Amino acid sequence: MPILLQVLDLGGTFVFAISGAMVAVRHRLDIFGVLVLAFAAGNAGGITRDLMIGAVPPAAIADLKYAGVSALAGLITFFWYPMTNRLRNDVLWLDAVGLAFFAVAGAQKALAHGIDPVMAALLGMVTGIGGGMLRDVLVSGIPTVLRADLYALAALAGAGVVVSAHLLHLSPMLAAVAGGGVCFALRFMAIRHGWHLPTSRPAPASGAPHHRHHDQDR
Amino acid sequence: MPILLQVLDLGGTFVFAISGAMVAVRHRLDIFGVLVLAFAAGNAGGITRDLMIGAVPPAAIADLKYAGVSALAGLITFFWYPMTNRLRNDVLWLDAVGLAFFAVAGAQKALAHGIDPVMAALLGMVTGIGGGMLRDVLVSGIPTVLRADLYALAALAGAGVVVSAHLLHLSPMLAAVAGGGVCFALRFMAIRHGWHLPTSRPAPASGAPHHRHHDQDR
Amino acid sequence: MPILLQVLDLGGTFVFAISGAMVAVRHRLDIFGVLVLAFAAGNAGGITRDLMIGAVPPAAIADLKYAGVSALAGLITFFWYPMTNRLRNDVLWLDAVGLAFFAVAGAQKALAHGIDPVMAALLGMVTGIGGGMLRDVLVSGIPTVLRADLYALAALAGAGVVVSAHLLHLSPMLAAVAGGGVCFALRFMAIRHGWHLPTSRPAPASGAPHHRHHDQDR
């Protein structure tokens, strides 16, 4: 079981480190900046989860494999960027796999630390979206994970399946497969069919929303 | 006393979750993005405080009421946005109430964990401004709490009153009322009368400051 | 040895607090916003390190000297901004000194907490670049520490020297001087001679990278 957890965690780290490195290359950071952003994107979700559940030092700090996997992903992306970029659509699927890995691993680790089941599902979601959020904040964008089709919801659904299976005393391996499958399937269908959740309608008078928010709360 | 603390903490969470959800709606996030930003804005200050004082897992993770209150605030804002928006001025007052709640709760919790009084006052301020800072960073703005009239100072003043009352062995309830009152009054007067603190004068030669800061430290 | 560590830590805090305050003044924050950004820039690196290694509450919270030094730096910058600004090139050197202080202090503190040597070097780097990253994120910029010439690499090199000296059982004082010297020298040469690391070549078709990243991962 700890082995399953670590495989999922490291797999998610690798995939998100690639996404972080790709964003860094696009913003013309040098090779070291690429490695830093790869590590940040690959590990911010897991580190946040570990700090929240009191697992200190976080796995990404205590265990060198996380830094190693992140560096590997960063170097691959840096040296073969045109190729990675051409595979961008495949990367989208890969990213959905990483999301599924992290959602499952996050929920299982939180449960193992005695966190309340509902909160464990939310922490699974945080593990899945944390890396992407930091990645986008560092390059000054609104996090795509807050906008992309069913992104955070898919992570929560997968983590929820893991938690439900835990409450039903099913095997962790089965829970991981089912939860990961649900997360991946939801995200896959959202990408393929453009599924998305409703947005609210801001009041008509509010004009250009992006340029006014600095003043809204003053 | 723990009950007083929790009421203040949850009240602050509700108010700031609404402010986070409103910003999310304005940026056209979907319903799930609205819920995530509501949780982030409502709980980032308290989570930061709890990590700093070693109260792990943070209350917002250990106790489902925080997530519940945040979700409620997010849903209300999402479904009745035009109404919430029309009440924007009232929301400003409400926000000042939330700031007062958080400043008081943050300082009292830090004191209860044996933090040095001066630092407890600063942690009260952090509790009050943390959620708004994360909210604005996530949508790529300069945090309004760093710009708005007397915002952070009001939080520090309220927290300072709580700490002073603690040093004088006054009742926590009295301290909460006095500290919260000071924070709210300062912020209220600042909004109503446009009170603000002085800014420094950058050197004339520095030109358009907003467009040059990327290069300043290179 | 703890005294050496604290002198380095407080020196780094002072220097980075000045850099945070200068950015705040340029963005026309009021005096309180300047103080908040001074504290954030001066202490985010050290707080992150302390949370990662489980040193809770972080030194910057447990010990008032950090807040005091940050406030002093903020006030000096606020009231003498034109002068500080005219000394900007000197500030660049000063910033390199702060980076060296933090890289050394971060690595030594991590080692003292039993962190794996390789990770201790990485935490030294994080201590050095964390404050500048938060500073730039708060004012909506891409962190200069991710772009500036050899910035993060210099921090890692300095921290690596400290860790190597530790493994060779050399004196901590000698390690600090050597590691700090390496970090400062690398950064100094990079500034003076425009040394920089290679960047990757994004695929030609990718057009204007800065305007497309919101959509990349959807």
Q: What are A185's two structure tokens? A: 């399937």
Contacts B82 to A, Cβ<8 Å: 201-203
Which range has highest mean pLDDT (A19-33, A141-155, B203-217, C65-79)?
C65-79
Q: Identify the CA nearest to C202 among candidates A23, B41, B56.
A: A23
Instruction: Report yes or no: B17 and B70 within 8 Å, Cβ to Cβ.
Output: yes
Structure tokens that stand for A191 in this block: 């990408």
| Residue A13 to residue A66: CA distance in whole angstroms | 7
The per-residue pLDDT for range A142-201, each reduced to its tens digit, is 888 888 778 899 999 999 999 999 999 999 999 999 999 999 999 999 988 888 888 876
Stretch 66-105 of chain A: residues touching chain B, C-beta under 8 Å: none
Q: Is the pLDDT of residue B25 over 80?
A: yes
C114–A contact, CB cutoff 8 A: no
Partners of residue C31 in chain B, C-beta under 8 Å: 197-200
What residue in B sits closest to A56 (Cα-Cα)?
B56
B36 → chain A, closest CA residue: A146
Q: Are the Cβ atoms of C216 and A31 closer than 8 angstroms?
A: no
Put simply, whether C8 touches B (Cβ < 8 Å) is: no
User: B79: Cβ–Cβ under 8 A, 6 or more apart, which residues?
Assistant: A200
DSSP lists the bridge partners of residue A197 as none
- According to DSSP, the residues that pair with B30 across neighbouring strands are A199
CA nearest to B134, candidates A40, C129, C40? C40
Q: Does B118 touch chain C (CB under 8 A)?
A: yes
Q: Tell me what pLDDT residue B81 has.
A: 77
The position carrying tokens 């269908």 is A189
Q: Which chain A residue has its CA at the smallest distance from C143's CA?
A: A138
pLDDT digits (tens, 9 = 90+) for B170-213: 999 999 999 999 999 999 899 888 888 888 766 544 444 443 33
Q: Is A19 exposed, middle or buried (0-12, 13-18, 19+ CB in 10 A)?
A: buried
Q: Tell me the average pLDDT across C101-112.
A: 95
pLDDT at B47 over 70: yes
Q: Which chains touch B (3 or more CB pairs under 8 A)?
A: A, C
Q: Are A106 and A49 in contact (CB under 8 A)?
A: yes
| A199 interfaces chain B, CB cutoff of 8 Å | yes
pLDDT of residue A208 exceeding 60: no
Neighbours of A142 (CB within 10 A): 21
- Looking at every residue in chain C, the average pLDDT score rounds to 86
- Which range among A140-144, B34-38, B55-59, B63-67 shows the weakest confidence by mean pLDDT? A140-144
Q: If you write DSSP's letter for every residue of A4-68 in order, what string do you get?
A: HHHHHHHHHHHHHHHHHHHHHHHTT-BHHHHHHHHHHHHHHHHHHHHHHHT-SS-HHHH-HHHHH
* Per-residue pLDDT tens over the stretch C198-209: 887 665 444 444
Query: What's the whole-number mean pLDDT along residues C177-186?
Result: 96
* CB within 8 Å: C216 and A57: no
- The conformational region for residue A70 under phi > 0 = left, psi -120 to 50 = alpha, else beta, is alpha
B34 touches chain A (CB under 8 A): yes
State whether A30 and C199 contact (CB < 8 Å). Answer: yes
Chain A contact for C194, CB < 8 A?
Answer: no
Q: Give ipTM to 2 decimals.
A: 0.83
Residue B199, φ and ψ in degrees, nearest 5 = -110, 160
Query: Mean pLDDT, to the nearest integer, of C135-164?
Result: 89
Is the pLDDT confidence value at B46 over 80? Answer: yes
pLDDT (0 to 100) of residue C94: 79
Q: Which residue of B has its CA nearest to A120?
A: B61
Sequence ranges of the domains in chain C: 2-195
Q: Crossing angle, helix A88-112 and helix A117-138, to 10 degrees?
A: 140
pLDDT band at A116 (very low <50, low <70, confident <90, very high): very high
Instruction: Give φ, ψ of A173 to 5 degrees.
Output: -65, -45
Does residue C174 sit at the B interface (CB-CB below 8 Å)?
no
Query: Residue for token digits 């969470």?
Result: B13
Looking at chain B, the whole-number percentage of residues with pLDDT higher than 70 is 88
Amino acid A203: pLDDT: 53
The end-to-end CA distance of chain C, in Å, is: 51
Nearby residues of C64 by Cβ (< 8 Å), 6 or more positions away: B116, B118, B119
pLDDT (mean) for C108-126: 94
